Each structure stands twice: as structure tokens, then as C-alpha cells.
Amino acid sequence: MPLDKVPPPSGPFHQRFQTEIVWRNVAFYLGLHLLALYAVLLVLTFQVKWQTCVLSYVLVIGTSQGILSGVHRYYSHKSYQARWPLQLFFVFWFTLAFQNSVWTWVRDHRQHHKYSDTDADPHNAARGFFFAHMGWLMMRKHPKVLEKGDEIDLTDIENDPLVMFQKRYYMPFYLVCSLLVAILLPVYGWEETLANAFFVPFILRTVIILHLTWFVNSAAHYFGTKPYDRTLWPSENAAVAAVTFGEGWHNYHHSFPGDYRGADFGYRDNTTTYFIDFLSRIGLAYDLKTVSDAAVKARALRTGDGSFPRHRLDEQSNPTEEREQTNKKSTNYFFENFLKLR
């Protein structure tokens, strides 16, 4: 139904708003998933060289950090500062992730935080799990998304020449990077077939990273506890955190979006935070912002759903010391996790 013929609001959301499906995008995502299924078959029938599988996994890790440490925690939230070589690193890996330009991702994400789960949220979870997961990419935008999207402050990234360069040349940049890294490298590096290089490191790897990102918008907005703010849809979801390098602690993240850790206390399944710590240690990241334990506790007491650990509310507990011990135990956590197949 064309947007100008949408009936006036009344009754539940799904009854009062029917959006126009963009069939071209439906066909694209359907085709992409069929190709990915064939790629899975190729892998399961041992037709793909092990080097190509390793490369695909490395590409999943690299692109995930382009999204998570880079475009999410750095560009969208500016929860720390990054020096220019690191910015280049992030833009390169993010471009490979096939998630549009940095500018578009940041605009959508800032809008998602500002209008979470309302009509103006691009992937409003109130419109259903599938819509929040990937359906939003196959439909015309809600008029409120368009209206409020223009009001999102993007001054900082619009003053960033690298971001604007990537926005302008996104598609050629994406095609060249993908061709070099996902296709030519395996074909010329270890004589992989062109078909396998196309199906596995190019197609399958892209689909995997898309779903990992989408689960944060769907599952982490549907399932889990809300220790910091029970009024939000975003929840603490350990399963999502485990497969997204730490992005599933979503009730915390929406309660404190400026915290570079993206999660409370300790670093459980939060490889991204370890990576940013590592970048800070080698001088590429600095000015890492965190929220104090006192502020976290106060928020949990004020708006939490009661699942916040009770011992943390005890005056005697020393979260800073406890956190340091947790982190010390996990000195090699970052490397272990980056090497471990999850």
C-alpha cells in the first residue's frame, strides 16, 4: 500500500500501519540466502580448502570488529577516541561487512537509540521479531523514521573526511575490497576454485555477519533480563553476547550507550571490549569512557527489574577490585577468544 494511503492510527500497530514491501530487496535477500545455503553444502561436503575456511573465519572476525569496535562503539557512540590508522582499519573492515556506508549505519543507529522501539526506530522491535531482525530492510520506511531521521545530529561524522569519502565511494570500494580479499586472495594464494571463493568467503561470510548483527536488534530486544531499565525492550542476552563478541548485554548498552565496554561489570563474552583495551594499550585508542559503579547501581535500584546481582548493592562489596581480579584472570582472554571458534 502506498504510504500516502496509510489509514489514520487506531488499534494495535500492525492493524493501523501496513508498509509497502520492496520486492527488489526481498528478491535480493532471498537470493543471497539461497547462495549461502549452497555455500554451506560445499563446506559440509569438504569441497572447500581449509585455508579458505580459515580465511572466511578471519573475515568474520575482522568485519565484526569493523562494525562493533569501529562503527558502533567508536563512530556511533564516540565512547572512545581512535587515532587515524585505527580509523582506516575500521573503515576498511566495515566496508567489507556489506552494511552500507559508515554514515548511513551511524544515522540509523543513533536514531535507533533515540527512538528505541517506537515508530521512529528504523528496526522497531514492536513491529515483530522478523521486522527487527531483517524485515526492516525489505520494506519502505515508516514516515516517522524518515521525519526523525533528518533530525539526527551527524555533525561529527560529516566533518570526518574519511567517513564522507567512504560514503561517496562505498560501492566501488566495497567491490574492490571484496574482490581482492575474498576472491583473488584464495584463488591466487592457494589455488582455490573461483566458485568456492565466491560462495564461501564472499557470500557465506557476508550472510553470517549480517545475521550476527541482526540478532542484536531482534533477539536482544526480545529475550533476557532488564537489570538496569525495565522500561526498555533491550535485554541482557547471554546467547547473543556469545555469538556477537559481546554485543548482547543490550539492556546495559541502551541504559548507558556512552560506555565503551558496552556491558557492565566484568568482561564475560565481551571480546570487543578486550580488543578496545588492547588498542588502548598499543596507543591507537584513548579517552575510553565508562560509567561509574555508583551510577550503575543507582540506575539499577531506580529502574531495574530486580535481576541486578544483590551482592553488588552491598556497601561492603568492592566492584572495582572485583573487576580487576576478573580481568587479571583473563589476561589472555582476547587472544583465546579471537582464536577460538565460537
List residues binding Zn ion (CB under 5 A): 234
CA dihedral 251, 335, 293, 314 (to 10 degrees): 100
- Closer Cβ to Zn ion, 52 or 213, answer by number: 213
Q: In whole angstroms, what is the distance from residue 37 CA to residue 214 CA? A: 18
We find the least distance from the C-beta atom of residue 118 to Zn ion, in angstroms, to be 12
We find the least distance from the C-beta atom of residue 153 to Zn ion, in angstroms, to be 15
Q: What b-and-e string marks burial along 24-63, b requiring 16 or more CB atoms within 10 Å of the CB?
A: eeeeeeeebeebbeebeebbeeeebbeebeebbbebbbbb
Identify the burial level of 287 via C-beta atoms within 10 angstroms of its C-beta, where 0-12 means exposed, 13-18 middle and 19 or more buried: exposed
Backbone angles phi, psi at 43, to 5 degrees: -70, -45
We find the least distance from the C-beta atom of residue 317 to Zn ion, in angstroms, to be 28
- Closer Cβ to Zn ion, 112 or 205, answer by number: 112
We find the least distance from the C-beta atom of residue 220 to Zn ion, in angstroms, to be 7
- Closer Cβ to Zn ion, 42 or 102, answer by number: 102
- Position of cell 560529516? 158
- Closer Cβ to Zn ion, 109 or 205, answer by number: 109
Residue nearest Zn ion by beta-carbon distance: 234
- Closer Cβ to Zn ion, 49 or 250, answer by number: 250
We find the least distance from the C-beta atom of residue 109 to Zn ion, in angstroms, to be 6
We find the least distance from the C-beta atom of residue 216 to Zn ion, in angstroms, to be 6
- Closer Cβ to Zn ion, 134 or 181, answer by number: 134
Backbone angles phi, psi at 211, to 5 degrees: -65, -40
Q: Specify the DSSP class assigned to residue 150.
A: T
We find the least distance from the C-beta atom of residue 246 to Zn ion, in angstroms, to be 12
Q: Specify the DSSP class assigned to residue 80.
A: S
- Closer Cβ to Zn ion, 234 or 304, answer by number: 234
Q: In whole angstroms, what is the distance from residue 88 CA to residue 153 CA? A: 23
We find the least distance from the C-beta atom of residue 254 to Zn ion, in angstroms, to be 6
Backbone angles phi, psi at 213, to 5 degrees: -65, -45
- Closer Cβ to Zn ion, 186 or 234, answer by number: 234
C-alpha separations of 297 from 247, 307, 311 in Å: 21, 12, 11
Backbone angles phi, psi at 81, to 5 degrees: -105, 150
- Position of cell 596507543? 283
